[in-house]
């Protein structure tokens, strides 16, 4: 029985260390700095980020040849540097783990670079899911 106490304590403490999952309104507020950039609205971003990261600020998705980080799912192949992919182009000049915190200034700065270079189509969810019928992504919070 005594052996299970430490395991129990670890299990109950895990929620304190889990990723931050934001609401649609929290995301809309957090990314206001990218609103309208390259003509992309907050409604479009709310949709894209939901389908890309599930509004999880600590989302990490491994693909065949790269890993994507954070709310915007920014790839270590081109945009940021990680120990896993040291030959990254690191166009944004930043460590990928910086995209896993709740400070979105660097995420937005890198997303703007991606938009300027690749456009919104860099986010694969955009065309099939987020290019029309966007009212459901509006934040209804007063």
pLDDT digits (tens, 9 = 90+) for 73-112: 999 999 999 998 889 999 999 999 999 998 999 999 999 9
The architecture CATH gives domain 20-137: Orthogonal Bundle (1.10)
Under a CB-based contact definition with an 8 Å cutoff, are residues 57 and 35 in contact? no
The structure's pTM equals: 0.83
Enumerate the domain spans of the chain: 20-137
The pLDDT score that the predictor gives to residue 140 is 81
């Amino acid at each position: 029985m005594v052996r299970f106490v430490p395991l129990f304590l670890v299990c109950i403490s895990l929620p304190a260390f889990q990723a931050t999952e934001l609401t649609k309104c929290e995301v809309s507020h957090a990314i206001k700095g990218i609103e309208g950039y390259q003509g992309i609205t907050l409604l479009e971003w709310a949709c894209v980020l939901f389908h890309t990261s599930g509004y999880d600020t600590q989302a990490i998705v491994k693909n065949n040849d790269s890993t994507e980080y954070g709310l915007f799912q920014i790839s270590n192949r081109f945009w940021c540097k990680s120990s896993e992919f040291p030959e990254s182009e690191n166009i944004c000049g930043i460590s990928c783990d910086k995209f896993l915190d709740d400070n979105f200034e660097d995420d937005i700065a890198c997303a703007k670079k991606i938009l300027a270079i690749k456009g919104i189509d860099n986010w694969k969810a955009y065309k099939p899911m987020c290019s029309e019928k966007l009212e459901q992504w509006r934040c209804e919070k007063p």
